[in-house]
Structure 1
Amino acid sequence: MPQQPPVRSSPARPQRPDASMSLITNVMDHSLDDGYAEAAARKKSQGEGGLPRTLRAKLGLAAGLVLAALVVTVGAAQTRAAAPVVAKEHQELIGRIDSETAAADKLEGTVDELRDEVGARQRAALKSSGGSARADLVDVLSGATAVHGPGVKLVVNDAKEASSGGDGTNPRETSGFSDTGRVRDRDMQRVVNGLWESGAEAVSVNGQRLTALSAIRAAGDAILVDNRPLVPPYTVLAVGDGSRLGDAFQNSADGLYLHALEQDFGIRATISTEGDLRLPAAPSVIVRIAQPSTEKTEKGTS
């Protein structure tokens, strides 16, 4: 009987200490999820076949620029399409303004014609009922009729460096705001009153005839004469005794006040003697109080 070779018995492999913790061991040995590992392997296998990162960044930038250009192009196209409509509305608005302005000018001309006609009829009625030169003088002094004759022309303008508003540090205060080199309503009041006091028979400011009821006020930086805004330069015409009127005004307190404005605040003023000035009638002269004049006569007894 053949003899069998002796069988060597290998020593038993020692068991791992953590054999009983197979789940924890598997997590520790395979910390990366199989799906992530597969994706990483696939990306690695592509090698140079994928797009470089810089190229992808450039492609993204180019796509963004194309999108921005598309948005700008669409906006410009919409604006161009709406431009004719806006231009048409603009022209229609200008046309309406011009039409209404022309209508207002026509009505104002009609009012002036009717006022002149009424004045002429009033003067004719006064003359036919025993009117005299005194009545004509009253018309002139009241501003009810246009006048012409010798006098002085005074032009008052803001300073060259004039600006609106102020910091409140200037001592000359007028109508609630400080001086900034601009002609104020109070300045014009003093100029006009000084001309009246110096012997002027009729006065106008920028073509606006003044009467005993005229008011010179301020609205912001604008000067109002009988609620009509005026803009500088302010041309004041005064009918009177030419050179005598001019000398009297310049030597008066109001003339010296105007000279002080020139020296201290840069306000510009020029005065000249004129041979023939023409002043229009006042826009409206309203008789507020009137009563007949009676002459008292003494009757003697014989």
Structure 2
Amino acid sequence: MADPEVATKAPESDATEKVVNPSASIIPEDTPAQSGASLGEHCVTDRPTPSGQGSSGEISQLGGVDVYISKPADYPHTPSKLLLFLTGATGLHSTNNQIQADKYAKEGFLVILPDMFSNDPLPGSATYSEEKDASVIEQIKMRAAETAKSFLIDMWLARQTPEKVLPIIHKVLEAAKDEFADAIANGGGIYCAGYCFGGRMTLLLAGEKPDTVAWGQQTTDEEAGVVKAGPFIKAGAIAHATLVTREDFEGTKAPIAFICVENDQLFADEIREHGEKHLMESNVECEFKTYSGVPHGFGIVGEYEDVKIKVAQAKAFDQMLAWLKSH
């Protein structure tokens, strides 16, 4: 069993991250992704789906946004709690993401997985069309295919800002308040589980922030004279977050748990340490657990040859589930 806090070297076959270097431009005047940040292979590519497993929910719409909804078998006869499930870059149509959502549904949560990348899917994913990036592809068609894909992913990532993504999430939440008012009332609010890219969005939803992107209901900080909004979730659980900044921790109010990966290039130790210190000093209930010998992205359903990673994956789910249920 993978023991949190105990350092061992991750298996190179599964743990080595391939991180795109956005500064290595291959087209003049391109735009680096979010000031040099990028994604590793486990953020943009699904692991093989475990044999015999498949999703059991359905694709629907809430607030005009495509969503995957997974319900407990006995809902609505038995009260449920609403869980917002925010994915990594592979998004709505990833079978692994859908199966992960189903796991929470089997534990009594009514799960909503929104298409955060509405009309702008990850290059190479199920609903992506090369026509969208035809001009870019034409410019780099003489380059190596892998370099081209990395560049397109980097440019895609630059477009996925909180200002773009959070309003999409809020459309879903506003619609859910009507559609699933019973589940929200039963849980006393909305819970959230975020993985990879969705981890940062979860952290932002857990905070009270300056209302710069129409985040919903506003409150006024009379001392500073600043209009703020949030938090929008009752509690959150995050696995192997990516792109998190020091500023993202500011204003956090909701209890939050972090499942971390040792030596994670996508969630640096200095950011994690700053976040933990800031939350504790702000008297925000939090939990940080670090797993060794596992790759970034290990928390999402996917097949691994290394039994230790499989055990860690199950343990991480149990820890996130326990956190959400206890709040």
TM-score class, shorter-chain normalisation, is under 0.3
Greater gyration radius: 1
Give 1 or 2: higher helix fraction.
1
**TM score, norm. by length of structure 1:** 0.25
